[in-house]
């Protein structure tokens, strides 16, 4: 009986240490932003953008009724510096059921014409038609290990009328700190 009490006390003491504020390592800031619903055609209409500025930078875009028959693309723009105008990076990839390529590039002020592909960057893109989501998962070093980031998302379809910006064209959501 005495051994059981000692074990129980030791276990409850460990539990207290775990629950004491300040003993848990700081977690990354994860923020979910909502976009205006029904401001674009279904499939390209962005509903939410989730930004996880943690060990890796993970941006998940949720669409309205993403279909396997859709053939379009997604670009996520990253601002890491703030004082200068526009993004410093863009992650881009296609969205279709047959598979696609994706990439990340350095850009200047929303212009792709002067972009520089980052070939040695650890980036992945996942698309889930079942969950209506596309996710970019990027190593922090690709973005020069930013302390804070803000993003904008842009989806496009095959026709000029099939496009959506979240939150708005050439505008960012609020900063997400690490």
Per-residue pLDDT of the chain (178 residues; tens, 9 = 90+): 444 444 444 444 443 334 444 434 445 689 999 987 777 777 889 999 999 999 999 999 999 988 888 889 999 999 999 877 799 999 999 998 887 889 999 998 888 777 888 999 999 999 999 999 999 999 999 999 999 999 999 999 887 778 999 999 999 999 999 8
Q: For 59, list phi and psi in degrees, rounded to 5.
A: -120, 120
Helix (H, G, I), strand (E, B) or coil at 91: strand
Structure tokens belonging to residue 123: 């980036």
- Beta bridge partners, 177, equal 148
Strands (E), 72-131: 72-79, 89-95, 102-108, 111-117, 123-128
Torsion on CA atoms 79, 85, 91, 92, rounded to nearest 10: 150
Q: Which residues contact 101 (CB under 8 A, 6 or more apart)?
A: 93, 94
Q: How far is CA 52 from CA 3, 5, 7, 35, 147, in A?
A: 45, 43, 39, 17, 12
Round to whole Å and give the CA distance between 169 and 8.
59
Residue 28: the pLDDT is 60
């Amino acid at each position: 009986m005495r051994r059981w009490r000692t074990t129980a006390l030791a276990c409850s003491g460990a539990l207290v240490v775990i629950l004491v504020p300040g003993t848990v390592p700081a977690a990354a800031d994860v923020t979910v932003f909502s976009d205006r619903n029904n401001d674009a055609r279904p499939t390209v209409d962005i509903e939410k953008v989730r930004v996880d500025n943690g060990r890796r930078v993970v941006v998940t875009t949720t669409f309205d009724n993403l279909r396997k028959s859709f053939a379009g693309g997604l670009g996520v723009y990253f601002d890491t510096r703030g004082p200068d105008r526009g993004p410093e990076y863009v992650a881009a990839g296609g969205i279709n059921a047959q598979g696609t390529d994706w990439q990340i590039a350095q850009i200047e002020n929303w212009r792709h014409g002067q972009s520089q592909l980052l070939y040695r960057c650890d980036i992945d893109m996942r698309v889930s038609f079942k969950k209506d989501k596309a996710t970019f998962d990027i190593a922090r070093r690709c973005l020069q290990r930013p302390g804070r980031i803000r993003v904008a998302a842009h989806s496009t379809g095959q026709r000029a009328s099939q496009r959506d910006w979240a939150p708005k064209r050439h505008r960012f959501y609020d900063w997400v700190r690490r």
